[in-house]
Structure 1
Amino acid sequence: MIAVERHDGRDDMEKIINWMGGWPNDGFVSASDWEERLAAAADRSRRGPGADTTNPDVSDRLKRMLACGLLNAQTSGEPSHLRLTAGADAALLSLVKRGLQPGDVVLTEPLTSRSALQMFRKAGVRVEPVTGDSGGMDPDALAAAISLQRPKLVYVSPVCSDPHGAVWPVQRFDAVSRICRISGVTLLRDDRQAMLLYDAEKYSENDAKKHAVDGVLSIGQLPPGLVAGLRFGWVAGEPALLERWFSSPFGGDSSHNREVLTLEHQAFLELLQEQPLEPLLDMLRVQCDQRMRRLTDILSQKGVRGLRWRKPAGGVHLWLTLPDGLDGEALLRGAWIRGLMFQPGAPFYAQEPQRNTLRLTFAYADERQMKLGVSRLVEAIGDFTGRFDIG
C-alpha cells in the first residue's frame, strides 16, 4: 500500500490511496535489513583479494540453492533449468527482445496481464486472443488458432492470473501444453503470482505448480512485500529452450548492471542461508488472503447494485465489474479527485475491452485504508450514477 501525500496541506485523511499496483515500501525482510546486506556484500567484494563482483559463480551457487529448494518444482531440481532476472517483467522483456520480431503473432487469453500486452505491442507483435472460460484457454480454440495464425508464442497465466487471480484445472493446462508441444509452439506461462496461492492444500503440487514440462517456459518472481527493495525473478525451462529464447545469463546488461545484479545475488544467497523464505511466504499468503476477504466484506456491506467481483484464488489484486454504463477510465478521473487510484480494466483485454471493469491492488492496505478507499470508490460511483444505488 502506497500513500502519497498531497502538497496542498490537507490532513492524513486526504492522502491519496494508491491501489494501482507497484511495490510496497517495506516487507517481511525490511528495507533497512536488505540495504545492510547489500552494503556488506559490496564491502566484502571491495576488500577481497582480486575480487571480481561480476563473477558468475555467485549466481551459479544461488541457482543451485533455489533449484534444490524454493524452485524445485519449476526446475525438477536442475540448476541448468534456471535463469535469474531482475523480476518477471525483466524476464519477459528479455524474451520479447531476443525471440520476437515485428509482425510475429502471440496467442493469449482474452483477459491477461496489462504489462505483457504493452511489451508485445511495443515490439510490434500482433496479439490474438483465444477464447476460453473461467477454467482457462479452450484447447480446441487454441488448436484452431495455431493452425490459422501460426504463432511464435502462446502466453498464459494458469495460476493466480493477473488481473483476476484464477487457477486453471490441471487437465486444462495439460491439454493446452500438449497442443503447443505437438504444434512446435513455445508455451510461456507467467507465474509471477503463483507463490501467493491462498489455499495451497486445495491444489495439489501437480495442479498448482506444474512447471517442469517439455516445451514450456515459466517466468516468476519473489512476491512484492517479501524482501523490501529486492526485485528478483527467474525463468525456468529446459536448457535448450532457455538458450533459444534468452541471451546470456546477464541478458546483455552493462558491466555496471552485472555488478549490481551479482551483489544482489550474493546478498540474497546469504539471506537464504540464514532465513528460509518458505515461512515468510506462508505469512504473506495468509496476510493477502485475510486482506482480500476483508476488502470484499467491506464492498459487500456497501451494497452497490451492479458492482460484482469473483474472489481470487490468490495474488494481490481484486477484479471488479462496475454497474452497466460506467467506464473504468472515466471513474478513475472521478476517484482521483476524491483521493483514490486504481487500474481501469480496459488495458487488460487483448481485444474488445469490457470498459466497465477495474483492478484494485489491495494487498498492502491496512484496515483504515481499505475502509477509506472503498468509501471513496463508492462515492465516485455515486457521482457518475447520480445517486448511491444501494440495495
Structure 2
Amino acid sequence: MSSSGFRLSARAKAAKASEIRELLKLVGKPSMISFAGGIPDPSLLGVDLVDAAVREIFSGPASAREALQYSTTEGFAPLRQWIAESMARKGIPAGLDNILITSGSQQGLDLIGRLMLDPGDTVLVSRPTYLGALQCLTAHGARFAQQDAPLAMDGVTPKLIYLIPDFANPSGDTMSERERLAALDRAEALDALVIEDAAYTDLRYEGENIAPIAALDIARCGGIDASRTLYCGTFSKTLSPGMRIGWICGPAALIHKLALLKQGADLHTATFNQRVIHHAAVAGFDTTVARARQTYRTRRDAMLSALERHAPPGVSWTRPDGGLFIWVTLPEGIDAAALLPLAIAQDVAFVPGGAFHADGTGRNTMRLSFSLCDAAQIEIGIYKLCTLIAKATQPRMQVG
C-alpha cells in the first residue's frame, strides 16, 4: 500500500527529500570527483582514538555493562564536563545543567524547533543558509524571513534567529564581531532566541578566532542563564559523524525543557557512543583537529587557485577562513541545477545553490566542498566544471 493510501499528518505530507541526500546517491561511483556533500575526509577522523576507546571500554566487565545500559536523557556526565571545559575556553562558562547531549546537532535543531515554534511562526535566517535547518524548522511550521530584513515586518515577530557564524554552510562566510553584536541587538529588540550553529567553528585554519555569539551574549547579560542564545555543537566534523554526538549549550531552564522533549523522542543518545566520543576527545581531540585544519587548508588553497585559473568572466566565489565550503555565484540567467546533470556526465558533482535559499532564489549559485578531494582531483574537477560554465555563458548555449 502506498503512503498516499494512509491519512498522513500535514507535517508528513509536506516533507520533501533533501536535494543533497538524493544527490549523494548518484555520486558514489569511484570515478566521480565529488564537490557535493560536506563530508569530512574519513582519513582525518579519529579512527585510532575510537579504536582505543572501544578497547578501554571493554577492558573490564563493569565499564562494558555501563556502556551498553540505558543512561540519563541529559547525557553522560563526564562528556558533558569535557564539553563544559571546552565551552569555557571559548568564553562560554557553563555547568552540566547548561548542556544537553543530542544525537548530532541536527537533533538539536529539531528539539529547538519543537520547543519554540508553532505553525506559522517566523524564523530569521541568512541567505543562503543550511538546507538541513530549513527542512527541520519547516517541519515545525516555520516561515522564513531574511535575517537582515527591516525590523518592521507587517506585524510579524520572529521567535528565532538561526545563524552559522563561522565558515557557514553553504557560503563559507564568517560573521565579524560587529555583525554578531548586531544580531544580538536585533534578537533583543525582537525578544527572539538565537540559535548559534557552531558545526564548523573548530575548523578555522586562517585568521583570528572571533568570540561566539553565545560568549558575546553572556558578556552582555552577566551569565549563561540570563542569555538568549542556544549554542549547537557537534563532533561530526572532527571526530566522527557516524557516532552522531552533538550538544546544545544554553540557559538551564531551556535545557531542562529540551531534555523533556528529547526524553519523549529517544530517551537518550546512545550511551556507548557517548562514552567512545568522551574517551576519544580526552585522548586526542586537539591533535585530530589540528591535522584536519592543515589538510583542509591545503585543499581550499588548491580549489581557490584552480578557480582563479579556470573560471570564466562573471563568476565569483567566497574565500573561507575555515570549514569545508566555497560558494560560487554564476552570471545571472545561468541555472546551476541545469548544469548539474552535464557535470555528473563528466564525473563531477556539486550542489546547486537554490536549495539553500528559503525564498526560492539563488538558482545561479552552487556550493563546492573541497573536503574529500586531493589537489589533483580538484584541478581536474574545477577545470571540467568551469568549462561547462563557460559554455553556458555563451548566448547559444544559455542554460536556464
Which TM-score band (shorter chain)?
0.7 to 0.9
Residue in structure 2 matching 1:266, options 269, 275, 280: 275
Residue in structure 2 matching 1:114, options 131, 137, 154: 131
Corresponding residue number in structure 2 for 1:101? 118
Distance 1:268 1:226, change over 3 A: closer
The code of the aligned residue for 1:127 comes to F
Corresponding residue number in structure 1 for 2:164? 157
* CA shift digits 1:103-146 (9 cap, x unpaired): 121121232111111222233211122337xxxxxxxx3x434x
The code of the aligned residue for 1:19 comes to F
Distance 1:321 1:174, change over 3 A: same
Distance 1:248 1:28, change over 3 A: farther
Backbone CA RMSD of aligned residues: 3.2
- Normalised to the residue count of structure 1, the TM-score between the two structures is 0.82
* Preserved contact between residue 236 and residue 242 of structure 2 (Cα < 8 Å): no
Corresponding residue number in structure 1 for 2:206? 199
Corresponding residue number in structure 1 for 2:264? 252
The code of the aligned residue for 1:266 comes to R
The code of the aligned residue for 2:342 comes to G
* Preserved contact between residue 162 and residue 317 of structure 1 (Cα < 8 Å): yes
Distance (whole Å) between structure 1 residues aligned to residue 261 and residue 56 of structure 2: 24
* Preserved contact between residue 57 and residue 64 of structure 2 (Cα < 8 Å): no
> Deviation at 1:266?
1.1
* CA shift digits 1:68-111 (9 cap, x unpaired): 23664364142221111122212112222333222121121232
Distance 1:235 1:278, change over 3 A: same
Distance (whole Å) between structure 2 residues aligned to residue 268 and residue 120 of structure 1: 28
Residue 351 in structure 1 maps to residue 363 in structure 2: no
Corresponding residue number in structure 2 for 1:369? 377
Distance 1:328 1:52, change over 3 A: closer
Distance (whole Å) between structure 2 residues aligned to residue 120 and residue 343 of structure 1: 21
Distance (whole Å) between structure 1 residues aligned to residue 205 and residue 340 of structure 2: 29
Name structure 2 gaps, 5 residues minimum: 1-23, 219-223
Q: What SS class does the counterpart of residue 351 from structure 1 fall into?
A: coil
Task: Determine what percentage of the aligned residue pairs are the same residue.
Answer: 23
- Normalised to the residue count of structure 2, the TM-score between the two structures is 0.80
Distance 1:65 1:130, change over 3 A: closer
Q: What SS class does the counterpart of residue 297 from structure 1 fall into?
A: helix
Q: How does 1:27-46 map to 2 (within 5 A)?
A: 27-31=43-47, 34=50, 37-38=53-54, 41=57, 44=60
Residue in structure 1 matching 2:318, options 310, 320, 329: 310
Distance 1:383 1:178, change over 3 A: closer
Residue in structure 1 matching 2:248, options 235, 240, 255: 235
* Preserved contact between residue 339 and residue 376 of structure 1 (Cα < 8 Å): no
Residue 222 in structure 1 maps to residue 229 in structure 2: no
Residue 69 in structure 1 maps to residue 86 in structure 2: yes
Distance 1:102 1:208, change over 3 A: closer
* Preserved contact between residue 172 and residue 320 of structure 2 (Cα < 8 Å): yes
Distance (whole Å) between structure 1 residues aligned to residue 51 and residue 261 of structure 2: 24
Distance 1:53 1:270, change over 3 A: same
Distance (whole Å) between structure 2 residues aligned to residue 339 and residue 194 of structure 1: 31
Distance (whole Å) between structure 1 residues aligned to residue 39 and residue 307 of structure 2: 24
Corresponding residue number in structure 2 for 1:167? 174
Q: What SS class does the counterpart of residue 93 from structure 1 fall into?
A: helix
Corresponding residue number in structure 2 for 1:16? 32
> Deviation at 1:253?
4.2
* Preserved contact between residue 196 and residue 213 of structure 2 (Cα < 8 Å): no
How many aligned positions are there?
365
Q: What SS class does the counterpart of residue 278 from structure 2 fall into?
A: helix
The code of the aligned residue for 2:277 comes to F
Distance 1:248 1:71, change over 3 A: farther
Q: What SS class does the counterpart of residue 199 from structure 2 fall into?
A: coil
> Deviation at 1:27?
3.8
Corresponding residue number in structure 1 for 2:287? 279
Runs of 4+ in 1 over 6 A off after TM superposition: 49-52, 206-209
The code of the aligned residue for 1:294 comes to A
Residue in structure 1 matching 2:42, options 18, 21, 26: 26
* CA shift digits 1:37-86 (9 cap, x unpaired): 44763685688678862233971111012212366436414222111112
Distance (whole Å) between structure 2 residues aligned to residue 346 and residue 205 of structure 1: 30
* CA shift digits 1:210-231 (9 cap, x unpaired): 4646111111212525446433
Corresponding residue number in structure 1 for 2:152? 144
Q: What SS class does the counterpart of residue 69 from structure 1 fall into?
A: helix
